[in-house]
Structure 1
Amino acid sequence: MLPDPDPVRAFVRRHPAVREATRRIRVHLPERFGGIDPARLPPRVRRFELPLPRRGVTPPHQPDAIRVEAPGDLWLPRHLQRGGLAGYEPESLACFLAAVEHARSGAVLDVGANIGIYSALAAARSDRAVFSFEPTVEVATVARTIAEENGLDYTVLSLALSNHTGTAALRLSAISDASNSLATGHRPEIGRREVEVDTLAHWRERQAVVPAIVKIDTEATEPEVLAGALELLRSFRPWIFCEVRPALGVAERLMALLEPHHYVWFHLEGAPPYAPRTTITAREDHHSRLWLFAPGMPPAHFWDAAAEWRTALADC
């Protein structure tokens, strides 16, 4: 275990029972002494049904919703309970579902999966093999629970992906459990954990998986993940959905990696279809940070499917 910059806060974050006891005490204190409003106290366990989008070609046996059970203070379950999938990356989810329909046969790799929403959607709306990578143990546990309780066939791995193999420090974000990262200086830290690290190319070779779609959201280490996956780009030409943050030169490094492989770049913001971009950019005022790196120009029916999925997401 690596040393924690703030051991007290890190200890409280790591131990749910301590965190819960601390909150129960704070509701009885005045705000000037660190008290909190009882109305803002999250439940110990958050349970809800998350409606899933459905469009005309969706087989009737596929689920209309998934049950989510998670610790009450995790960011993404709280966000999804409030706003559903319509309020969570609807542009990228719509194009992702269109790619799940239209990409050639092969697996879906969800890198930086959090509680596995992209994985769950791919498993619920296709027969593809799905692999979900999440190095934060507590969050990966929620992803496994969602898969098991809803009968969804995807594999969750407590593994970080980068451009090397071995171990690395996972920096626990003081901002949100959804922004833990291997990147130095990405967020203020409350602690660090040593996690297992591999490259996507090495992992794929061992597992003999043929990737068709790769989604990458690793809080500013997307270029490192892509650098460890270049053999996949050369051999399999997967569709790539990638978050691009305005920090640490992420956009410039992604362009340097992708340009030799002749991918076409689309910023997933607004309504589809999207025009190809000559540069990858990232700004704080962008509503969506997700990009599609396509192995070629998507056909018109792909954008039609994305538009229908976008409507379905708004409806659900």
Structure 2
Amino acid sequence: MRSFELSLPRREGAVGIGPAALEFTTSGEFSVPKQLQEAGLAGYEPETVACFLAVLEHARAGAVLDIGANVGLYGLLAAARSHRPVFSFEPTPDLAETARNLAASNDLTMEVVQLAVSNHSGSAPLKLSANSDASNSLAAGFRPEFGRVQVEVDTLSHWRERAGAIPAVLKIDTETTEPDVIAGGLEVLRRFRPWVFCEVLPDRGVEERLMALLEPLDYSWHHLGDDPPCPRRNVIDGRGAGSHERMWLFAPTPPRDELWELTCGWRRALKACEA
């Protein structure tokens, strides 16, 4: 087992909300808790985490959906630093159970949905990665496998209709099937115009499919490896101009200066959250 305290940032000038830290107790084998224990939140996707926290303050009222949640870190952050409804989607059974336990043990309101979000409904084999539990995917051949588990699959649009949620912020990290998530949620993006954080891995055909889906929706694309303000890009490139950061912001309206100022404030706050 792995047990540690994860310090959370507080932006200067922000209204105080939520705990100063999260208590993590998880399997010692899980990769995300291992990274968090070694580097703290300051060393875990800080560009994305800072912008995510800024968008929680900036976006209109509505729910946060963390699709491909693993142990639920982004959902836990949303529950700890906002009053928004939070839904974390994770199909891997032991990871979903860990996310539920972390929310309960930290007294945070976060609903864990044990579901793989894609462009169809039914069931499918989830490929369990031999490299890392963070690389489990519906995509065949993405990583060397050590096993498979049959999981429930549904589209974002179908789930939203059943749940009655009004999405305002999405985070999508499903190991190369992100275009399938978008394709199954086009009605959600058209109707509710959520802010979308999306991982884009290179050399997997993801970029072209995302651009084809998003261009008719009039979203702007911003690589989060850039220093704020992150400029609008004409092309979605998984290589991210050489940056290690693979996350992109797909914005329903051109981001205003206020958003980038909030992002800078959260980046400064994150520097205090080392291991």
Q: 1: distance between equivalents of 2:268 and 2:12?
A: 12
Q: 2: distance between equivalents of 1:201 and 1:55?
A: 34
* Alpha carbons 2:64, 2:84 under 8 Å: kept: yes
The number of residues matched between the two structures is 272
Q: Counterpart in 1 of 2:246? A: 289
Q: 2:267 aligns with which of 281, 305, 310?
A: 310
Provide the secondary structure at the position in 2 that maps to 1:315: coil
Q: Counterpart in 2 of 1:184? A: 140
Q: Counterpart in 2 of 1:174? A: 130
Q: Counterpart in 2 of 1:251? A: 207
- CA drift of 1:59 comes to 3.6
Alignment partner of 1:193 is 2:176: no
Provide the secondary structure at the position in 1 that maps to 2:268: helix
Provide the secondary structure at the position in 2 that maps to 1:72: coil
Q: 1: distance between equivalents of 2:94 and 2:35?
A: 17
Identity %: 58
* Alpha carbons 1:220, 1:247 under 8 Å: kept: no
Q: How does 1:52-201 map to 2 (within 5 A)?
A: 52-201=8-157
Output one character per residue of 1:220-278: Cα deviation in whole Å (capped at 9) or x when no partner: 00000000000011100000000000132001100000000000000000421100000
Rg: which structure is higher? 1
Provide the secondary structure at the position in 1 that maps to 2:271: helix
- CA drift of 1:139 comes to 0.9
Provide the secondary structure at the position in 2 that maps to 1:92: helix
**TM-score, with normalisation over the residues of structure 1?**
0.84
Output one character per residue of 1:151-194: Cα deviation in whole Å (capped at 9) or x when no partner: 11110111100000000110010110110000011111111110
Amino acid at match of 1:294: A
Amino acid at match of 2:249: L
Structure 2: state its 5+ residue gaps.
none
Q: 1: distance between equivalents of 2:114 and 2:250?
A: 26
Structure 1: state its 5+ residue gaps.
1-44
Change (3 A) 1:273 1:61: closer
- CA drift of 1:61 comes to 4.8
* Alpha carbons 1:58, 1:125 under 8 Å: kept: no
Moved over 4 A (4+): none
Q: 1:301 aligns with which of 237, 258, 265?
A: 258
Q: 2: distance between equivalents of 1:61 and 1:258?
A: 34
Alignment partner of 1:278 is 2:234: yes
* Alpha carbons 1:92, 1:268 under 8 Å: kept: yes
Q: How does 1:1-80 map to 2 (within 5 A)?
A: 45-80=1-36
Q: 2: distance between equivalents of 1:245 and 1:203?
A: 26
**TM-score, with normalisation over the residues of structure 2?**
0.97
- CA drift of 1:48 comes to 0.4
Output one character per residue of 1:184-212: Cα deviation in whole Å (capped at 9) or x when no partner: 11111111110000000000001111000
- CA drift of 1:282 comes to 1.1
Q: 2: distance between equivalents of 1:56 and 1:160?
A: 37
Provide the secondary structure at the position in 2 that maps to 1:48: strand
Q: 2: distance between equivalents of 1:180 and 1:91?
A: 23
53-62 or 284-293, which deviates more: 53-62
- CA drift of 1:58 comes to 3.7
Q: 2: distance between equivalents of 1:171 and 1:188?
A: 9
